[in-house]
């Protein structure tokens, strides 16, 4: 069984393999946005967001949107201060 530290480390390694757009999609998921809203914000098709979500879930080894948001939280999203 993995410890919390090992799990965070694994997710950080996975984050290093994410594309810039995948990171933006993950940040949108963490913010609670719908795919349609993420697509609008990034100026891409909703279908493209869905493709990025599939890739994100595979790379992060998670099975749903909530787990993507949890992974984003563990990578530091949400701790940033508005500036």
Domain ranges of the chain: 4-74
Q: 15 phi and psi, to 5 degrees? A: -60, -35
| pLDDT on residue 75 | 80
> Rounded CA gap, 26 and 57, in Å?
10
**Single pTM value for the model:** 0.78
Distance CA 40, CA 49 (A): 10
Tens of pLDDT along 3-59? 566 666 666 666 678 999 999 999 999 999 999 999 999 999 999 999 999 999 999
- pLDDT of 63 above 70: yes
> What CATH topology corresponds to 4-74?
Arc Repressor Mutant, subunit A (1.10.10)
Residue 78 has pLDDT above 70, yes or no: no
Question: For 57, how many CA atoms within 13 A lie in the half-sphere containing its CB?
Answer: 12
Q: What is the pLDDT of residue 66?
A: 94
Dihedral sign of CA atoms 82, 10, 70, 18 in order: positive
For the residues 62-81, what does the mean pLDDT come to? 82
Furthest CA-CA distance within the chain: 41
């Amino acid at each position: 069984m993995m410890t919390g530290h090992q799990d965070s480390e694994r997710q950080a390694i996975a984050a290093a393999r994410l594309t810039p757009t995948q990171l933006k999609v993950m940040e949108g998921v963490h913010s609670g946005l719908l795919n349609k809203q993420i697509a609008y914000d990034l100026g891409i098709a909703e279908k493209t967001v869905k493709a990025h979500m599939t890739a994100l879930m595979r790379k992060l080894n998670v099975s749903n949107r909530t787990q993507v948001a949890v992974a984003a939280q563990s990578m530091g999203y949400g701790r940033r201060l508005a500036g």
